[in-house]
Amino acid sequence: SAVISQKPSRDICQRGTSLTIQCQVDSQVTMMFWYRQQPGQSLTLIATANQGSEATYESGFVIDKFPISRPNLTFSTLTVSNMSPEDSSIYLCSVVRTSGRAEEQYFGPGTRLTVT
């Protein structure tokens, strides 16, 4: 399995500020994703973090609001910019690791963000 850590685990932030969430994996992985889970909702994919190039964003998510970095194969950051209460969610990092023909997907512990 892949061990994923996220920092911070939770935060309470003021409207208009920005928060950067870090995701660290214990081994090199093929793909890294960032998801959002709004209260009472299922997970929604924000973007695929691409190593050494710009992230690929899903419909409804833009780089100015959610800038993402992935400087290497084990680390990525997601920034939630100019936050509003609607951004209060759990943000999850997820990775896919390929082992032979098998692909396994793993999830981080999540970052619980509350915007006041």
Residues in contact with another protein by CB under 8 A are: 33, 37, 42-43, 45, 48, 90, 92, 96, 103-110, 112
Q: How far is the CB of 19 from another protein (least distance, A)?
A: 16
CA–CA separation, 87 and 73 (whole Å): 27
Burial class (CB in 10 A: 0-12, 13-18, 19+), 78: buried
Residue 31 beta carbon to another protein: minimum distance, rounded to whole angstroms: 8
- Residue 82 or 98 having the CB closest to another protein: 98
How far is residue 39's CA from residue 59's CA, in Å, rounded to a whole number? 20
Q: Which amino acid is at 47?
A: A
Nearer to another protein, 8 or 16 (CB): 8
